[in-house]
Chains A and B, each alone.
Chain A
Amino acid sequence: MATDRIARRQASDARPLVVCGKRGNAEELVAIDATAEQRGLRIAMTLAQARAMHPELVAVEEDAAADAHLLEKIADWCRRYTPLTALDPPDGVLLDIAGCAHLFGGEAALAEDLAARVAGFGFAVRVGVADTIGAAWAAARFSPMASITPGAEREALAPLPLKALRIAEETAADLRRVGFKRIGDLIDMARAPLAARFGEALLRQLDRALGLEREPLQPRLPVAPYVAEQPFPEPITREEDVLAVAERLAHRLSAMLERRGEGMRRIELELFRTDGQVSHIATSMSRPIRDAHAVRALFNERLAALADPLDPGFGFDLARLNVIAAEPCPPQQTALDQSHDDGELDRLVDRLSARLGARRVTQLNAQDSHIPELAAMNVPAQAVGAAHGWPAFRCFRDAVALSPRPLRLLTRPEPIEAIASVPDGPPLRFRWRRALHEVASAEGPERIESAWWSDDAGPARDYFRVEDGAGHRFWIFRAGLYRDTVTPSWFLHGLFA
């Protein structure tokens, strides 16, 4: 799954793709794609070994969070079939399709539809259908049969490897070492010796798979008390259509709500994209409502306020409105109260940013660099916690007793004509913007070298703080040291008060 996740994002090529992660001290392969598998790479191989074998290999650092997130998204998407979906990490989703399979033309048709769609998203997928979670799990992963008929679990599971029992790899390995290789080897074994050696858990898994013990499915999301949904044969894309369907669904629900004297307090609109993305838009009301039109208005607001605009891709083919919280509803409706107060300054910044552009409403952040123009950076004030570099700067400044820095820094150092005493001396006079300044007093140099590791590193600079006869104070520097160059050039970089 992890390699599919990555492959979906990158242009695929013929190179083997692997995902690697730290296991103990070694960097190991934790997921591989089909190409990698064909070329002889295996999960749990060290990355170094894999690289040695296939230097062209593409290795991506594992991202457990991204994988988990992806699995959740897939599980969400599966809610199009049934609200009873559960995660089966790291790469499985469980669906309770009892009672809803008929909506999709039966179990087989549902399985086929699901497999086709998920495959269409770019994932390798296997589907198993059975009466027990265990059997379905085994069927999906190990059986040539995708579906196990009720009552035939024994026959179907017997030839499968022990891993198909959802037991720890360690236990399976222990069992193999004493000669048990398939589930069938265990089914008729005396239970007590097995339990004594391999624990009750083994037998419980066996019983669960065979349907001798019930195993409930724990749905990932609570099942909403009121749900209405609408599939679209022709996927919809326009925001207008989304709002319309929201209103229609709300209308449908309001009838149910009214019957029980309740109103919506918190609702969620689920939009299923044809490519498997699911958007959730939730909104709360300050008091319970049943008015479908108000719901539309609310979603209108919410859609407008979304940080990322709603992206329909190739369209939504299913919409569902869940009432997550409902409360007894008084007969009359009231207008929505929208006031919330988040810090005046933030609102000011938002207002200014909205009008002038976020780029122009900025704060200064200190950067960890000696180079003056890099030492402070302009960041949009809307970026939270933008100015966190200053305490470190103050520590540094105090520790080395940094020479004074100018009040204003020119956007770009401006070349000046200067006559200086060599070596290392300040200019005697210089001309900036056509004005000649006689240097009355100067301090320096402060030598700041460039970032040698960077490709666009300039020459070293010698900074001087100079004051002209009229009391104007400047920060000027000579680019290039006398030991490196014979023709240094001079620049004015900043102004002191």
Chain B
Amino acid sequence: MEAAHPSLAPARDSDTGPLRCCGCVLVPGALHEVAARSESASAAASGFVLALAAWAAGPRATLWIAEEMALAENGALYGPGLESFGLQPEHLIRVAVAHEREALWAMEEALRCRGVGAVIGEIRGTDRGIGLTASRRLALAAGHDGATAFLLRASPSDAPVAAATRWIVGAAPSAAKAHGPGPPRLAVHLTRNRRGSQGSWVLEWNSVEQRFDLAAADRQPVAEADGDRPHRTAASV
């Protein structure tokens, strides 16, 4: 089944999609994992996942399933800010759950629904991971009707998971403009890709074209995606 649904295919000239600058196209019907590089990068990771999900869902609904604690920590998705990532608020259904188990149940339910195009599960748990079995069930459910599933994690994890791709996303300084921050930039690492190679990029979100561009002339080197837990460092300042 996985073979029949390649999750990240090489981009051809005619391919659109937000990641074409990295030379790939996200293919629907699979499970992807996106982890914030640190707690403070959660907004950056949210933006990344949202851009992918909005594209994958097309005209169908997107479900954002989040643990209530995550909402309290990172804030809830804010309608007026969604459209710059290509998601119309009308197409978003938000589901607040009490714990991970509920989130997984809700994701699976949603993935099996024909009216749903993308399902994002925002999971806080870092230690245990959701497990291979649970992730496999999600991947299976995603394959069933062509909805794309995303696991959004608050921090990177090494625990095995049945995801087609794994990403680690961090913030990156924007290209400075005369008066204020420029378009958002993200430091993105593709750490696992079942169908292809891995890579690291600094991407700049182009809200007009609804795609990521490779950040021109990186001002700063991309920070390494190691486990240095920069959020802890920051917290101790």
Contacts and interface: CB of A to CB of B under 8 A. Distances in A.
A219 interface: no
B173 A467 contact: yes
A53 interface: no
Contacts of A411: 71-72, 75-76
B115 A343 contact: yes
Interface stretch (B130-138, B159-167, B179-187): B179-187
Given A465-B180, A495-B74, A404 B106 contact: no
A363 B40 contact: no
A322 B235 CA distance: 73
A397 interface: yes
9 contacts: A356-B102, A363-B92, A407-B50, A435-B234, A435-B235, A443-B180, A471-B172, A472-B44, A495-B75
Contacts of A497: 43-44, 46-48, 50, 85, 184, 186, 205
B88 interface: yes
Interface stretch (B18-26, B27-35, B93-101): B93-101
Interface of A: 343-345, 347-349, 351-352, 355-356, 360-366, 372, 375-376, 378, 381, 387, 390, 393-394, 397, 402, 404-411, 433-436, 440-444, 465-467, 469-473, 494-497
B95 A356 contact: yes
Interface of B: 40-44, 46-48, 50, 61, 71-72, 74-85, 88-90, 92-97, 102, 105-106, 109-110, 113-116, 170-174, 176-177, 179-181, 184-187, 205, 230, 234-235, 237
Given A378-B94, A387-B89, A471-B174, A409 B102 contact: no
A360 B89 contact: no
Given A345-B113, A434-B235, A364 B89 contact: yes
A410 B74 CA distance: 7
B104 to A, nearest CB: 13
B69 to A, nearest CB: 12
B92 A345 contact: no
B234 A404 contact: no
A128 B116 CA distance: 63
Q: Which of A349, A372, A465 has the most chain B CB atoms closer than 10 A to its own CB? A: A349
Contacts of A433: 235
Contacts of A407: 43, 46-47, 50, 77-78, 81-82, 85
Looking at chain A's contact residues, the main secondary structure is mixed
Contact of B173 (A345, A348, A360, A471): A471
Nearest to B75: A408
A442 B180 contact: yes
Contacts of A473: 43, 171, 174, 181, 184
B86 to A, nearest CB: 12
Contact of A397 (B48, B50, B80): B80
Contact of A390 (B72, B88, B114, B115): B88
B89 A366 contact: yes
A439 to B, nearest CB: 10
A364 B77 contact: yes
A360 B97 contact: yes
A407 B49 CA distance: 12
Contacts of B186: 497
Given A356-B95, A472-B40, A497-B44, A405 B75 contact: no
Contacts of A394: 83
A365 B79 CA distance: 8
Contact of A352 (B80, B95, B230, B237): B95
Contacts of B173: 440, 467, 469-471
Contacts of B180: 441-444, 465
Nearest 4 CB-CB pairings of A with B: A497-B47, A443-B180, A345-B115, A376-B79
